[in-house]
Every structure is written in structure tokens, then in C-alpha cells.
Amino acid sequence: MAKKFPRIEQVHREFIQRQKMFFNATAAHGARVNVSPRDVASFRVLSSNQVAYLDLTGSGNETAAHLRADGRLTILFCSFERAPMILRLYGRGRVVSRRSREYSELLNRYFANVEPVGTRQLVVLDVDLVQESCGYGVPRYLFLGERPTLTRWAEAKTPEQIEQYRRDVNTCSLDGLPTGLLEDDNP
């Protein structure tokens, strides 16, 4: 039932655009596996073998720590409302710092220079395998709307308060791996 592709095809782009959310999964040697849900509004297909998403400040930063330590990243989309399908994007990921020129260029080119409040970094995936599978076991759900809670949280803080929160909570993974968030490694 599964089909493999060396790149993101047009039918995959269209499927991605119809979804409301995706999941990212990372792991590093000796660390816990991390799976996180994300809002697809922050996701962009940059080319047939590269995607990116704006990563908002959250209660942890496992993705950044794992990408720094290992680099493996899988992104999963699954249809909850329409015809069943699961789409996985496999490859090597990396974090692009908000303080970097690359971040500014990607934000301008692919996100119309619009940075949601609370954005902490950009995650880029170089895709080396695309897999689609049936998704027959995925239940159907109705989308009721976006949750404004994270945006409200960020809007209620000053930029300095958000930066302090990141210093306090987002600089190491659950297993003590550094995230590199505060390093100025991509000026």
C-alpha cells in the first residue's frame, strides 16, 4: 500500500495545503524520541526536496536539540477529513536562527516577511524520501478552529520576557542536550 518517491510531487503539495496540522519527529542517540504537533499555516514547500516551517516558542525545544545532535527529521501529514492518506517526508533537518541572514531571506521569500509573534526559529528539512500510505486506520475528525492560546500568551509578553522564557526553558532538551537557541552561529 505504501508508495515511495524521491521528491515532493505536485499531488503531495496539494495534499499538504489541504491539511490543518502536521507532526514532526526527531531522535538523538541516548535521548527520548520526540513527536510534536504543528500548525500547517507555518509550513512551506521550498522546492521538490526542501520544506521549512516557522517554529513558535513552546514549553520545550526538543526538535532543535535533536537536530543539532543527530539531524534526522520526519514530518508526517495525515488526512482526518477527506479521503484517507498519510504522507511522510524523511530527511535531514536543521534549525535556522532568527538572527541569521538566511532566516531573513527565507522569511521574506516564503512567508511574505510575516513572522508570527513568538516565533523562535525556522526548521528546514532537506527531503530525501517521500512516502505516502493509505491512512485507512486514521479516524475522521472535524476541524473546529485554531487555538489562539499560544498567540495570546506571546502577545501578552514583551520581547524581553519571551527571550527570558526561552533562556529559562528552551536552551536544553529533556535529556540535557543543548538546543543552540541562544548561540549566534548563523549571523
Contact indicator for 78, 165 with CB cutoff of 8 Å: no
Contact indicator for 93, 66 with CB cutoff of 8 Å: no
Segments of the chain with pLDDT less than 50: 185-187
**Would you give the DSSP letter of residue 168?**
H
Distance (Å, rounded) from C-alpha 23 to C-alpha 31? 19
pLDDT for res 184:
58
Distance (Å, rounded) from C-alpha 41 to C-alpha 53? 9
Mean pLDDT of the chain: 95
